[in-house]
Amino acid sequence: MAENEVITAENAEETSSKGKKSSQKPRQDRRERTQRRETSDIEKKVVSVRRVQKVVKGGRILRFSALVVVGDGKGKVGLGIGKSREVSGAIEKATTIAKKNMKMVPIVDGTIPHETIGKFSSTKILLLPAPAGTGVIAGGSARAVIELAGIANIVTKRHGSSNKINVVKATFEGLMGLKTKEEIARRRGKSVEEI
């Protein structure tokens, strides 16, 4: 009898704990699997981490702001800004936002299809296509966006503000304004030869 009681008590504990554990573990495994799949082909670069303050009645609240650029090197690129009380938290938030904001960039023979100017706030960036072997000629923050987009040959020149956030956003805007010959022909309802 005592053995039966012990067994039933153990069974009761197992059943009560199984309900909680079994429903939690598979969810964590699924999350981990999806994160592994995403991170396998997507690279990230932390462009800047800044310490920002908010002045309140009781004093100052210190937080960190992180600017992260993500891309797969095959034409998809995104950027995100995250804030948190810890640097790692800010970078995580920025990475998640950047992955949600990923967009396609047209690339023709390792460079951009035509020249363009990206504008954001008081920053302008001139993007010029370059022949093979030129490489990426760009400043630090613009270089992060261009390299993660997978562009191998390009020449850039920044005008105006050198604020890293504005430069990254201006570069991103410039790349979003690019169109291939096929896209333009489709929009006009003509063939590529007619243009």
Half-sphere exposure at residue 171, Cβ-oriented, CA atoms within 13 angstroms: 30
**How far is it, in rounded angstroms, from Cα 3 to Cα 53?**
64
* pTM for this model (two decimals): 0.76
- Could you tell me which residues come within 8 angstroms of residue 98 by beta carbon, excluding any fewer than 6 positions away? 44, 68, 69, 70, 78, 79, 80
**How far is it, in rounded angstroms, from Cα 83 to Cα 95?**
11
Residue 70 pLDDT greater than 70, yes or no: yes
Residue 32 pLDDT greater than 90, yes or no: no
pLDDT band with cut points at 50, 70 and 90 for residue 41: confident
Residue 57 pLDDT greater than 90, yes or no: yes
Which burial class, exposed, middle or buried, applies to 173 when counting CB atoms under 10 A from its CB (0-12, 13-18, 19+)? Answer: middle
pLDDT band with cut points at 50, 70 and 90 for residue 91: very high
The pLDDT tens digits for 125-147 are 999 999 999 999 998 899 999 99
- Give the residues across from 69 on adjacent strands: 45, 79
DSSP string, 87-139: HHHHHHHHHHHHHHT-EE---BTTB-SS-EEEEETTEEEEEEE--TT--EE--
Q: Two tokens at 173?
A: 């805007």
Residue 20 pLDDT greater than 60, yes or no: no
